[in-house]
Amino acid sequence: MKSFWITITALLVFTSANAGTIEMKVNGLVCAFCAQGIEKTLKGYPATAEVVVSLENRLVALSTKDGQDISDAELTKALTDAGYTVKSISRTETPIAEIRKRVRAKAE
């Protein structure tokens, strides 16, 4: 029984460490070509499920595949190497579809 609780605790810790959505505030986004380049770069990671880029909100969000993650350092390096400045990174359980909907609502 003790090993059962240890396993459950380990799963909870693992799950909380791998949030499904990563939101980044990024400076330097100025055109659709920027958005397309970022999307292509981030989709190159095997852990990436979906990517949303909003020029108006200077937001880049991605969802990760179940049980997978991309470190903040990797994300920062990828975006910095592409010429952008990462202002913040936050991990959330907000579904990527909700972020996409929020971004579209602000644009209208």
**Burial annotation 68-102 (CB, 10 A radius, 16+ → b, else e):** ebbeeeebbebbeeeebebeebebeebebeebeeb
Number of domains present in the structure of the chain: 1
Q: Taking the model in full, what pTM does it have?
A: 0.78
**Burial annotation 16-33 (CB, 10 A radius, 16+ → b, else e):** eebbbbbbbebeebeeee
Query: Count of H helices and E strands in the chain?
Result: 4, 4
User: Is it the case that residue 18 has pLDDT exceeding 60?
Assistant: no
Residue 13 lies in a domain: no
Q: Which helix (H) or strand (E) holds 32?
A: helix 32-43
Question: The domain spanning residue 56 has which CATH number?
Answer: 3.30.70.100
pLDDT level of residue 4 (50, 70, 90 thresholds): very low
Give me the domain span that covers residue 89. Answer: 19-107
Residue 63 lies in a domain: yes
Specify the range with the lowest mean pLDDT, choosing from 1-10, 12-21, 46-55, 84-93: 1-10
What's the rounded mean pLDDT across residues 3-26? 59
pLDDT level of residue 108 (50, 70, 90 thresholds): confident
pLDDT of residue 5: 40
25-72 tens-digit pLDDT:
999 999 999 899 999 999 999 999 999 999 999 999 999 999 999 999
